[in-house]
Chains A and B, each alone.
Chain A
Amino acid sequence: MLHSEPHEDSFLAGTIRQKTGVSVQRCYQCGKCSAGCPAASEMDIAPSVVLRHLQLQSSEADKHVLGSYSIWLCLTCHTCIARCPMEVDLPKVMDVLRAESLKHKLVHPKAKDIVSFHRSFLGTIRRFGRLWEMGFVADYKLRTGHLMQDIAVAPVMFEKGKLSLIPQFRKKLVSRIFAARGGNI
């Protein structure tokens, strides 16, 4: 068979294809995604290079990707797929990579705050059913120790009626969903 990729299944390329239907081999490395990516200048591996790593199908390259800062810096802005001549769905690939990175405990040290952000956010939803912004930010600060952050913004938000101090409890709305899918949080 001309197109068989015998080793794919044991590497991330296989996991990605199985979970999203995206074939990383379609990427022909033109670099358009990296050129338009708003986060590329902050990334340790540019989006097109993430794909190149995945194409190699080696555990070393896979590990490098799962431990990269890039996968957490992706903003899911969809600029890359909008411009990709091969329509490689990079944002979907990034979602799988983040989940795998968490699962294998390979999160880049600099990405800890971003992971805490997602955990605080989803933890707040799990507890209250909706986002209680005040509680979410407090939870994030405690997780990260960034206690002084936004000390100037919060009082103004409060004064302008944008922050409520008291949450409403609507936990029941989402308890089933989080019981089934809250494992990664």
Chain B
Amino acid sequence: MKIGLYPGCSLEGSAREYAESLHAIAPKIGLELKEVEGWNCCGASSAHAVDHLLSLALPAKILAQAEQQNIDELVVPCAACYNRLASAKTEMAAEQKTRDEVVKIMNMPYSGSTTIKNILEVLDHLLTPETVKAFPAFFPYKVACYYGCLLVRPKSVVHAERMEDPVQMDELMKRIGAAPLDWGMKTECCGASFSITRTDIVGKLCGDILEDAVVRGAQAVIVACPMCHSNLDMRRAEIEKVAGKKYDIPVLYITQAIGLALGLTPKQLGLQRHFVPVSLQGKQKNQQNVPAALKAAVA
């Protein structure tokens, strides 16, 4: 599968390991990525908070750029960027007037022809029960799949089938041998951009998320969003301060979990960049989803 890539700013900085793990697994799962040249920031959580047209023009320019480079399908691994790009596309498709205004601002032609995909959609296509049979290893752990807000809401933009209880990530995890847990915080908000301005709110919201995951016996939290990751991982000290207790549960990008199932090394997947050490070795392994014939390899 050949597809355009909009990495977004986080993947060049605080979420470098998300990019590293994506690029590490890509050739192994038949994914060929072509980065949009000359991309700019999508405006993230700030542009829409102060100026509506700015929040449309920044992502629209990225989409216009992709069109010029003949990219008709674009994967956006950052859930926040994905949401902004998809919102802009939806709004411009709905209102000709808005679209004209945006086109005038960015001074680039825009047809809205690019299909925008999030990471779960792309992985779902590539990691079929058939293809994972060739994987050298498994990810045999109990996991809490955490979707957060931006992959599932709003309905008009992301077309998620199950807004309150999404299952795409759970399905993917099952395919690589993990046991996804039924838990209550799948789509609760992590506090997003308040990581800097109201760290106390992030501490509380993330504490509630980790607590539920831990109580239900999760060995790792799986995410597909740099904001969720940085709040749950880099803000661990703040979370523990608010909760008054320690949490050692690691938080992995979905691409990292898949990379481990592909037998890639922790370093290739950037696991050393996490604040909370990813020490799954020695943890009790789940064998529930592992085909019987292969159980020996896991044990």
Interface residues of A (CB under 8 A from B): 19, 38-39, 42, 73, 75-79, 81-82, 89, 91, 95-96, 98-99, 102, 113-114, 117-118, 121-122, 125, 129-133, 137, 140, 149-150, 152-153, 156-157, 160-164, 170, 173-174, 176-178, 180-185
Contacts and interface: CB of A to CB of B under 8 A. Distances in A.
Give the interface size class of chain B: 35 or more
A177 B51 contact: no
B45 interface: yes
A99 B51 contact: yes
Nearest to A77: B189
B52 interface: yes
Contacts of B48: 76, 95
How would you classify the secondary structure of chain A's contact residues: helix, strand, loop or mixed? helix
Contacts of A19: 52
A73 B153 CA distance: 18
B163 interface: yes
A162 B105 contact: no
Most chain B CB within a 10 A radius of its CB, from A39, A81, A82, A137 = A82
Interface string B6-36: 0001101111100000000000000000000
Contact of A38 (B53, B155, B164, B189): B189
B13 A182 contact: no
A177 B54 contact: yes
Contact of A129 (B40, B107, B272): B40
Given A73-B198, A118-B50, A122-B54, 14 more contacts: A75-B189, A76-B149, A76-B192, A95-B49, A99-B52, A113-B197, A114-B197, A114-B198, A118-B49, A131-B10, A174-B40, A176-B106, A180-B57, A184-B50
Contacts of B181: none
Closest A-B pairs by Cβ, 7 of them: A78-B153, A131-B9, A77-B189, A181-B54, A173-B40, A121-B46, A118-B46
A164 B49 CA distance: 27
A176 B13 contact: no
Contacts of B9: 130-131, 133
B193 interface: yes
B104 to A, nearest CB: 8
Contact of B61 (A75, A82, A98, A177): A177
B105 A180 contact: yes
Contacts of A131: 9-10, 13, 41, 44
A130 B272 contact: no
A82 B188 contact: no
Contacts of B57: 177, 180-181
Nearest to A153: B234
Given A122-B47, A129-B40, A162-B14, A174 B58 contact: yes
A184 B154 contact: no
A95 B39 CA distance: 25
B272 A160 contact: yes
Nearest to A183: B51
Contacts of B189: 38, 75, 77, 79
Given A76-B45, A156-B275, A130 B12 contact: yes
B51 A181 contact: yes
A43 to B, nearest CB: 11
Contacts of A95: 48-49, 52, 55
Nearest to A102: B50
Nearest to A176: B107
Contacts of B10: 131
